[in-house]
Each structure stands twice: as C-alpha cells, then as structure tokens.
Amino acid sequence: MANTNDSLTSVIELGNTEHESVVNQKRMAKRKLYDKLFYRLCQSTILLALVTLVILVVHIIISGVSWLSLDFFTNFTSRFAEQAGIKAAIMGSMWVLVLTAAFAIPLGVSAAIFLEEYAPKKKWVEWIQINIGNLAGMPSIVYGLVGLTVFVRYLNFERSLLAGSLTLALLVLPIIIISSQEAIKAVPLSLREAAYALGAKKWQVVFLQVLPAALPGILTGVILSISRAIGETAPLIVIGALSFVAFTPASIWDEFTVLPIQIYNWASKPQEEFHQLAAAAIIVLLVLLFAMNFLAIYLRQKYQRYKL
Amino acid sequence: MKNIKNLFIEKSIHLFLLISVSITILTTLAVIVLLGKESIAFFSEVSIISFLFGTNWSPLIEPQSFGVLPLVCGTMWIVFGSVIFAVPVGLLVAVYLSEYASDKVKSFLKPILELLAGIPTVVYGYFALTFITPLMKWFNPEIEVFNAASGAIVVGIMILPMIASLCDDAFSAVPSSIKQGGYALGANTFEVIKDILIPATKSRIGAATVLAVSRAIGETMAVTLAAGATARLTGDPFGSIQTMTAYIVQVTMGDAPAGGVEYLSSFAVGTLLFLMTLVMNIIGNQWVFKSRIRVV
Amino acid sequence: MSASASENSEIILETKDLNVFYGDKQAIHSVNMQVKKGTVAALIGPSGCGKSTFLRSLNRMNDFVSTARVDGKVFYQGKNLYSKKVDPVELRSQIGMVFQKPNPFPKSIYKNITWGPKINGFTGDMDLLVEKSLKRAALWGEVKDRLHDSAFDLSGGQQQRLCIARTIAMNPDVILMDEPCSALDPRSTQAIEDLITELKRRYTIIIVTHNMQQAGRISDETYFFHEGNLIESGDTKQIFTKPSVQMTEDYITGRFG
C-alpha cells in the first residue's frame, strides 16, 4: 500500500519544481508525417480491395450479360455454346438448397441448443466444442471424400441428389451450430430467470422464451451457411455429380448437377464462348447468393435494433 | 402423473438434442476411420516413405510413382503466395475499419466484406483464369496459361475478408479505455495502433494467419481452374503446378475404379491434407481462446 | 486549505461559454471557469451532471466520441484549445489524464511508464525517469523489484497509481482525473488522496469526484455541476460551509444526488 514515507522522501530527493517537458518538439513533424502516411496507407488498401471487387463484378457482367436470355434458363447444357443453358443446373441447385437445409438446420440448431442450454460443464463437452471448431475448418474436399465413401458407396445412394445434399449438410452443420450458439448466447440471462421465476419448466424456458428471442440471429447464421452450400463445388465433384445433365431431377434418387459445377465445366473449356457462358451462370449464382446475403444482413440489422 | 409426463418430455428432448450433437462426433470418426482405412490400403501397395519423401508424382503414366512432394510443393506455392500479401492487407483493412472508419463508412464496408467472403471459390477460379492470368500475360507473354502465381493471387483475395474480419474482432476486443490511455499521453493514432493495439492482439493476428494458411491449403476450385494440373517440384511460380486438392478433383472426376491404387491415392493425399489443416486449426483456435485480454 | 496558493497565482486553464453536445442533446451549458496554477479543483455533482464530459473537453478527449461537438473556448496558456492551430495530440502531452478505471497498457510496469516519453522523443535517462515517476506516484517501494512484470499483475489500487505515474512521467502542466478512486477500495483511495495533495506542489489537478468528503479533503476550489450547468464555484471551504445557492447546499448535505 501507499507508503507516505516513500512519497515524502521522493519530494525531498527529486525536489525540482520547474517544468521541463519530455516532449521533443523537433520530432513532432516526423511523427505527424508517419501518422498521416499510415492513414493514407490504410485508406489506399481499403480502396484497393474495393476496386478489386468492382473489377471482379464488372468483368463478370461484361463477359456474361449478353448470354442471359430466356433460353439460357430453359435450355439444358449443350456441346454448342449457342444452345447451352442452365436449366438442369439451376433445378439441381434448388433441390440441393432445400434438401441440405432440411437436413442441416434441425440438426444444427438442436446441437446448438444442447450445447448452450443442456450440456453439463464437463471436459467431454469442451472436446465436442473443439471438435466442432475443427470440423468448421476442415477443407470441403475432405467432406467430399467422406460423402463418397459413406453415402455413395456404403449406403449405395449412388451419385444422387440425396448423397450430394447429405454431404453438403455435413459440411455446413458445424457452421450452423457455431452461429446458432452465438445467437443463443446473446439472449440475456435475465430473460431465462424471468421465465423460471414464473414457474416455467426447462423445456418451456428454452423453447418458448430463449429460442424465439434467438431466432433472428439463428436465421441469419442459417441463411449464410446455406448460401455457402449453394456455392460449393469440390465436394460435389468428388462424390461424382455430373457436369453434363440433360434432364431435371424428379426425385432425391436422381443424378444431378448444380450451378457451380456447370460453371466449372464451362470455365475449364478452352473456347471463349464457354467462358462467357460460365460468366452468365456466375451472374445467376451471385444474384442468388447476394439475395440470400442481403436477407441475412437485413435480418441482423433488424434484430440489432431490438437487442436487449 | 403430471410429473411423469413432464419428465418424459424433458428426457425425450434431451435425447433428441444429444443425438444431434453426436452427429458431429460421428462425422469426425467417419473422417478418421475412412481416410485411415483407404490410406492403409494405399500404403500396402506404395511404401509410406516413398509417398512422403518421393519427388515424382505420376499416378497416370507408367511406371506409376507416388512421391507426394510435388503436390505439397504446389500447395505451398499457393499458401505462401496468398498469405504473404493477404495478411498485411487484411490487417490494414481491419485497422482502417476499427480505428479510422466512421460508423457510417463501417456500416457500408462490413457488409461488402461479408459479400466478398460469400463469393464461391469457383467464381474466383474463373476470375483468375479469365482476368488475372491474361493481365499477367499482358505484362509478360512468357507466362503459362496455368500458373501458381495467378492461383495464389486469387486465393489471397479469397482469404482476405476472413483475415480482415478475424483481426477486426481482435481489435474490437481491446478495451477502448486502454487506447484512450495512450491518447491521453499525447500519442497519435499511428503510435497507438503500432504500440498498443497490435502488440495487444498479436496472438490473435497470429491465429488469423494460421487459420488463413489452413484455408489456403484446403482451397480447391480456384487453384484447380487457375494453377493447372502438372504435379512438379518447381521453383517457378509462373509455371503450371498441381496442388493436393486439385489432384483429388482430378482423380475423382476421372473414372478411376474404386479400390484401385489411383483411387486410393486420393485418400492418402486427402489424409495428408486433413492432418495439415487439423494441426493449423487446432493451433489457430487455441490462440484465439488463449489470448483474451485481461480486463481490469 | 491552501489559500496562499490561490492568491496571486496565474490562471492556467480557463473556459469561456463552453457548450458540449452529444448529437442533438446538450450535455454542457455555457460553462465558464478559471483554474489557477498549482491548485486542486474538484468538480462535483450528481451522476450524469456532465462533470466527466466537461473534464474530457479540457484535453479534447471528446474528439473520440463521434457524436460529440464542442463549442465555446478553452484557453490553456492563452491559446484556445479548439482553434485549428492547436494539435490535440501535442496538447495531450501537456494536459495528462487519469481515468475512472485503471487502464494500464498490456505491457510491463516499466514500459507502461516509458512508452509516453519514448514516443514523444524523450532522450534522457529512462531508468531515472521511471524511478522518479514511480516515487512521485508512491509506488516505487512496491514495484521496484519487479519492474518488468506485467502491469496486470498489480492490484487495482497499484494499477491506478501506475497510471498516475505514467502521466507524471510526461511531466504535464495539468493532470485531469476522472473519478480516479471510484473503482478502488478505501485503502487505495487513501493512498491516492495522499498522493494528490503531494502532487499539487508541482502540477495543477482537476479532479471529478462523486465523493463529497474527498472533494472537501483534497481540493482548494470546488465546482458544483447540475444537469450540465455550473451552479456554483468557489473556495472549497466556503462551498462546504456556507454555499450561496440552495441547490448546492441540498446536494452537499445529501438531500439529493
């Protein structure tokens, strides 16, 4: 604690009262220059990033926009660029979107509820959490290898929509869990206490109070995760989704293709026209994804307004 | 009676939730068991030493050779090339967002960053192939159509938003009172950033870098499209290479019969890929947790 | 307390019609005050009365609040702090600040003190400066053997004295203190109060406090704020014994606040 003696002696020892400032005026100009240069550096970096994004978007639009016609949406792919379309790919993507969401969302949200509301504070729960973190960072192509062996070969789903969607569901599951956990965590403890104080059972507190309060946050995370699945290519290639499909899938047992695979296929052809087709398909894919993103951002901003 | 019913509800909910969580454990087990099983089958035909240390990768042409180093070399070109510029740029972007941007600018820039992060990798691959590579060739026509540099640049652009947002999270975890303490001593913004903000967050910046490396290792479509399919141990970033991921795509797209050595080789490469990213992810996630600043 | 100090002293800091706004809301209404060199001025008032806001406008820390807007004038050594010619960065090296909660940098004790002088281009003996500053902050005895430990290893009271030491190391003219004892236990509070009375020999101190007794013990002049207005100011003894405004009396005697 304070030592009065200490401070008294210090005054005697170091008793000068004049104010010599430690500030070196000569260095001031240099410091100001560095400060300004660094600010400019940060600013130009941001600008560079924005310009890159603009170039990316403009380049794709310029290359692809002239190929966007009604036929492009209603035709199947073809060896002739003029006749090629994305009917099969877009239908496939829609199927995958619905199926993946149907598999992954209930599982992911339940797992998040378990971890946040029910799990005991034990070592094994911590390990599960670490495991989920690692799964979220596992390369998508490894999910493809798992899907190939489990769904395509062992369970004999062949190269079907079912196999593809299950693979993608596994891929997005950890992301959905983590983002839902964040949303549930953000619900204040006081809400739970208030519900318990009214005599609610645990499941009533969780499902009637906490979950509705966390819903906008969960939804935001879910939408972003599913949009990730829509853009995935590699795991579907690994499980054997086809690139030349001239039919629309009628059931979950049918073979399929999706937009990203169609894009990959066209982009890897040498002819310029197919590159332009790829750009056109990218426009469609990006419009779909950006719409989902905007929805998520809108939901979050609305949610933030009601944040407790 | 009512109590029994309630207990039943609680128990069944609990059980269902537990099952959901166990899917994640099953996934991990499946990864380990399946990759392990197929890799063991592969290593019964190819020695593990010649796989890990072999310098020649030619699975398609007789005599077959499965030395993985050329693929690792390809992956490393992508990793170093992308991380070396994406980390500093991402850091500066995060600094701008957290220290300079007004709330208004921020609310405009952050969604854009998220949009960038949401663009599928095949789109970046297309961009590399049809824009970055031609641009490079315009400077130097000698450059090959498929080359590591183009892939690395585009992977760098891809991982940039992730690095920026991880660093931004780290910066916003630094209490503003500490920064104000710096300003109150007559420091300018640059000095506060350089001497307080960055040192206080250095392990989380490190974590962001490690996680970015992990992403770059696992990145598939952009490098498959842009960097080529020539597995070689090369010092030339402007030539065609093949990454581990691109090889797996190549094999699984072809009609390699299940159980054949070629098919199995993709699992051996997949296992190596999995282990590399696993180590990176564990280190990265640990650093993020460990480095929480103690706030008084 | 020290009437001699407040006589013939020059005025070091003076505000003229100072208004502070947060967005559309006015937090400070046209405050005029004069602080004499070498004195301790206490700003008192109920919480939310604007005393901290006012304090932070004296070294332009309000610049960091994006919605804050200041008009009016603050004169320091005859210069208006809000004129375009004044660099707030330079200014803050002369008007130091100690915050409500201890906010040491996540660095060693030693580096916490040397950082300010270092970036400002101090070329003298760092070890001596550290010793001097820690002695003046009455912390030297407790930390001299562990100068290179993390500042976070110190107790709250020690951290606050470290923050004072790091401010002293800059050798500022004025030290602004924003409720420096509010997060501390009684013993640390005692230590810091002793320190303040010690420090006023060489520094001018403006301190915000919600602790009436503290203001009475350590200050020469007291300023009573209420809802952004400066209600009454003057010699501490006089304010505490016979305030001229009823509201001041009500507040000091604990009838509200």
Q: With contacts defined as CB-CB under 8 Å, which chain A residues touch C173? A: 19
pLDDT > 50? residue A15: no
The total number of residues written for chain B in this structure:
296
Q: Is residue C243, in this structure, part of any structural domain at all?
A: yes
CA distances to A286, B163, B275, C213 from C190, in Å? 65, 47, 58, 12
Same domain for A280 and A184, yes or no, is yes
What is the per-residue burial (b if ≥16 Cβ within 10 Å, else e) of C6-39? beeeeebbbbeebbbeeeeeebbeebebebbbbb
Nearest residue of chain A to residue B164 (CA atoms): A46
Asked if residue A277 lies in contact with residue A67, where contact means CB atoms within 8 angstroms, the answer is yes
Cα(C131)–Cα(A148) distance, rounded to whole angstroms? 69
Residue type, B279: V
Residues 6+ apart with CB under 8 A from A247: A76, A88, A254
Which residue of B20, B124, B146, B157 to mutate against A (max A Cβ within 10 Å)? B20
How do residues A253-280 score in pLDDT, each as one tens digit? 888 889 999 999 899 888 888 999 999 9
CA distance C253 to chain B (A): 33
Residues 6+ apart with CB under 8 A from A122: none
* DSSP track, B216-237: HHH--HHHHHHT-S-----S-T
Task: Please report all neighbours of B, defined by 3+ CB atom pairs within 8 A.
Answer: A, C
Count of CA atoms in the C-beta half-sphere (13 A) of C212: 15
Q: Is residue A285, in this structure, part of any structural domain at all?
A: yes
Same domain for A134 and A147, yes or no, is yes
User: In this structure, what token pair is assigned to residue B280?
Assistant: 């990176």
pLDDT > 60? residue A10: no
Nearest residue of chain A to residue C202 (CA atoms): A17
Which residues of chain B from 209 to 268 reach within 8 Å of chain A, CB to CB? 211, 214-215, 217-221, 224-225, 245, 248-249, 252-253, 258, 266-267
CB within 8 Å: C195 and A7 = yes
Q: Is residue B50, in this structure, part of any structural domain at all?
A: no
CB within 8 Å: B248 and A145 = yes
Same domain for B16 and B94, yes or no, is no
pLDDT > 80? residue A78: no
How do residues B32-81 score in pLDDT, each as one tens digit? 999 999 999 999 988 898 899 988 888 877 788 898 999 999 999 999 99
pLDDT > 60? residue C1: no
User: In this structure, what token pair is assigned to residue A30?
Assistant: 């240099």
Q: Which of C116, C96, C112 is nearest to C104 (CA)?
A: C112
CB within 8 Å: B112 and A278 = no
Q: Which of C42, C20, C40 is nearest to C31 (CA)?
A: C20
Asked if residue B42 lies in contact with residue B265, where contact means CB atoms within 8 angstroms, the answer is yes
Which residues of chain C from 33 to 92 reach within 8 Å of chain B, CB to CB? 59, 61, 64, 66, 89-92
Q: What is the mean pLDDT of the segment spanning B87-99?
A: 95
User: In this structure, what token pair is assigned to residue B41?
Assistant: 């089958």
Predicted pLDDT of residue C30: 92
Cα(A89)–Cα(A233) distance, rounded to whole angstroms? 12
- 3-state secondary structure labels for all residues of chain A: CCCHHHHHHHHHHCCCCCCCCCCCHHHHHHHHHHHHHHHHHHHHHHHHHHHHHHHHHHHHHHHHHHHCCHHHHHCCCCCCHHHCCCHHHHHHHHHHHHHHHHHHHHHHHHHHHHHHHHCCCCHHHHHHHHHHHHHHCCCHHHHHHHHHHHHHHHCCCCCEHHHHHHHHHHHHHHHHHHHHHHHHHCCCHHHHHHHHHCCCCHHHHHHHHHHHHHHHHHHHHHHHHHHHHHHCCHHHHHHCCCCCCCCCCCCCCCECCCHHHHHHHHHCCCCHHHHHHHHHHHHHHHHHHHHHHHHHHHHHHHHHHCCC
Same domain for B149 and B61, yes or no, is yes
pTM of the model: 0.86
Q: Is residue A32, in this structure, part of any structural domain at all?
A: yes
Work out the angle at residue A157's Cα, subtended by the Cα atoms of residues A155 and A162, and round it to the nearest 5 degrees. 120
Q: Give the number of domains in chain B.
A: 2
Q: Is residue B295, in this structure, part of any structural domain at all?
A: no
Indicate the residue of A1, A32, A35 with minimum beta-carbon distance to C187: A1
Q: Is residue A104, in this structure, part of any structural domain at all?
A: yes
Predicted pLDDT of residue B295: 39
* DSSP track, chain B: -HHHHHHHHHHHHHHHHHHHHHHHHHHHHHHHHHHHHHHHHHHTTS-HHHHHH---EESSSSSPEE--HHHHHHHHHHHHHHHHHHHHHHHHHHHIIIII--HHHHHHHHHHHHHHHHS-HHHHHHHIIIIIHHHHHHH-TTS-SS-HHHHHHHHHHHHHHHHHHHHHHHHHTS-HHHHHHHHTTT--HHHHIIIIIHHHTHHHHHHHHHHHHHHHHH--HHHHHHT-S-----S-TTS----HHHHHHHHHHTTPPTTSHHHHHHHHHHHHHHHHHHHHHHHHHHHHHHTPPP--
Q: Which of C192, C186, C204, C188 is nearest to C165 (CA)?
A: C192
Secondary structure of residue C136 in the 3-state scheme = helix
Same domain for B137 and B189, yes or no, is yes
Same domain for B125 and B37, yes or no, is no
User: What's the pLDDT band for A141 if we cut at 50, 70, 90?
Assistant: very high
pLDDT > 90? residue C183: no
Same domain for B157 and B224, yes or no, is yes
Which residue of B18, B104, B221 to mutate against A (max A Cβ within 10 Å)? B221
User: What's the pLDDT band for A291 if we cut at 50, 70, 90?
Assistant: very high
Q: Tell me the residue range of the domain where A260 lies.
A: 70-305
Which residue of A23, A62, A138, A220 to mutate against B (max B Cβ within 10 Å)? A138
For chain C, give the mean pLDDT.
88
Q: Which of A302, A262, A223 is nearest to A87 (CA)?
A: A262
Which residues of chain B from 97 to 126 reach within 8 Å of chain C, CB to CB? 102-103
Q: What percent of chain C clears pLDDT 70, i.e. is strictly above it?
A: 96
Secondary structure of residue C223 in the 3-state scheme = strand
CATH number at residue A143: 1.10.3720.10
Q: Is residue B52, in this structure, part of any structural domain at all?
A: no
Q: Looking at A48, A67, A86, which one is the last position of a domain? A: A67
Same domain for A49 and A76, yes or no, is no
Q: With contacts defined as CB-CB under 8 Å, which chain A residues touch C122? A: 22-24
Same domain for A90 and A60, yes or no, is no
Same domain for A85 and A168, yes or no, is yes
pLDDT > 80? residue A203: yes
Cα(B226)–Cα(A47) distance, rounded to whole angstroms? 25
Q: With contacts defined as CB-CB under 8 Å, which chain C residues touch B291? A: none
Task: Please report all neighbours of C, defined by 3+ CB atom pairs within 8 A.
Answer: A, B
Q: What percent of chain C clears pLDDT 90, i.e. is strictly above it?
A: 46
Q: What is the mean pLDDT of the segment spanning B221-242?
A: 88
Same domain for A56 and A117, yes or no, is no
Cα(B82)–Cα(B137) distance, rounded to whole angstroms? 19
Q: Which of C248, C206, C243 is nearest to C74 (CA)?
A: C206
pLDDT > 80? residue A44: yes
How do residues C28-80 score in pLDDT, each as one tens digit? 999 999 999 889 999 998 888 888 999 999 999 988 888 889 989 999 988 89
The owner of tokens 């599928």 is: B120
Q: Give the number of domains in chain A.
A: 2
Q: Is residue A14, in this structure, part of any structural domain at all?
A: no
Indicate the residue of A46, A107, A142 with minimum beta-carbon distance to B270: A142
Nearest residue of chain C to residue B102 (CA atoms): C66
Neighbours of C227 (CB within 10 A): 14
Same domain for A40 and A76, yes or no, is no
Count of CA atoms in the C-beta half-sphere (13 A) of C24: 0
Q: Tell me the residue range of the domain where C19 lies.
A: 3-252
Same domain for A209 and A220, yes or no, is yes
CATH number at residue B118: 1.10.3720.10
Q: Tell me the residue range of the domain where B181 lies.
A: 57-290
CB within 8 Å: A10 and C138 = yes
Nearest residue of chain B to residue C66 (CA atoms): B102
pLDDT > 70? residue A106: yes
Nearest residue of chain C to residue B100 (CA atoms): C64
Nearest residue of chain A to residue B106 (CA atoms): A46
How do residues B153-184 score in pLDDT, each as one tens digit? 999 999 999 999 999 989 998 998 999 999 99
User: In this structure, what token pair is assigned to residue B145?
Assistant: 């159509």
Same domain for A62 and A74, yes or no, is no
Q: Is residue C257, in this structure, part of any structural domain at all?
A: no
Q: With contacts defined as CB-CB under 8 Å, which chain B residues touch C93? A: 185-186
Q: Give the number of domains in chain C.
A: 1
Predicted pLDDT of residue C87: 87
Phi, psi of B9 (to 5 degrees): -60, -50
Predicted pLDDT of residue B216: 95
Predicted pLDDT of residue A8: 38
For chain A, give the mean pLDDT.
85
Predicted pLDDT of residue A4: 41
Same domain for B85 and B35, yes or no, is no
Same domain for A48 and A165, yes or no, is no
Same domain for A44 and A137, yes or no, is no
User: What's the pLDDT band for C257 if we cut at 50, 70, 90?
Assistant: low
Which residues of chain A from 172 to 231 reach within 8 Å of chain B, CB to CB? 173-174, 177, 201-203, 224, 227-228, 230-231
The owner of tokens 């890897």 is: A268
The owner of tokens 């090369």 is: B234
> Could you tell me if B259 lies within 8 Å of chain C, comparing CB atoms?
no
Q: What is the mean pLDDT of the segment spanning A192-207?
A: 86
Cα(C101)–Cα(B178) distance, rounded to whole angstroms? 10
CB within 8 Å: C64 and B183 = yes
Asked if residue A145 lies in contact with residue A77, where contact means CB atoms within 8 angstroms, the answer is no
Nearest residue of chain A to residue C114 (CA atoms): A22
User: What's the pLDDT band for C147 if we cut at 50, 70, 90?
Assistant: very high
pLDDT > 70? residue A1: no
Q: What ipTM does the predicted assembly reach?
A: 0.89
CA distances to A166, A245, A264, C249 from A248, in Å? 19, 8, 19, 85
Secondary structure of residue C109 in the 3-state scheme = helix
Same domain for B35 and B146, yes or no, is no
Predicted pLDDT of residue A193: 86
pLDDT > 80? residue A302: no
Neighbours of C124 (CB within 10 A): 10
CB within 8 Å: A1 and C124 = no
Q: Is residue B282, in this structure, part of any structural domain at all?
A: yes
pLDDT > 90? residue B16: no
Cα(B155)–Cα(A47) distance, rounded to whole angstroms? 19
Cα(A1)–Cα(A50) distance, rounded to whole angstroms? 55
Predicted pLDDT of residue A28: 84
Cα(A165)–Cα(A98) distance, rounded to whole angstroms? 9
Q: Is residue A89, in this structure, part of any structural domain at all?
A: yes
pLDDT > 60? residue A18: no
How do residues C194-227 score in pLDDT, each as one tens digit? 889 888 888 899 999 988 888 998 999 999 999 8
Same domain for A104 and A39, yes or no, is no
Exposed (0-12), middle (13-18) or buried (19+): which is B294, by Cβ within 10 Å? exposed
Predicted pLDDT of residue A20: 61
> Could you tell me if C171 lies within 8 Å of chain A, comparing CB atoms?
yes
User: What's the pLDDT band for C3 if we cut at 50, 70, 90?
Assistant: very low
CATH number at residue C233: 3.40.50.300
CA distances to B62, C46, C62, C147 from A3, in Å? 85, 32, 35, 18
The total number of residues written for chain C in this structure:
257
Cα(A143)–Cα(B277) distance, rounded to whole angstroms? 13
CB within 8 Å: C105 and B181 = yes
Predicted pLDDT of residue A304: 63
Which residue of C59, C60, C95, C105 to mutate against B (max B Cβ within 10 Å)? C105
CA distance C1 to chain B (A): 29
CB within 8 Å: B126 and A145 = no
CA distances to A55, B82, B139, B158, C199 from B132, in Å? 11, 14, 11, 14, 64
Q: Is residue B31, in this structure, part of any structural domain at all?
A: yes
For chain B, give the mean pLDDT.
89
Work out the angle at residue A74's Cα, subtended by the Cα atoms of residues A69 and A79, and round it to the nearest 5 degrees. 90
Which residue of A9, A10, A19 to mutate against C (max C Cβ within 10 Å)? A10
pLDDT > 80? residue B113: yes
> Could you tell me if B203 lies within 8 Å of chain C, comparing CB atoms?
no
Indicate the residue of A4, A19, A24 with minimum beta-carbon distance to C122: A24
Q: Which of A10-19, A132-141, B26-35 is predicted with the least confidence, judged by mean pLDDT?
A: A10-19
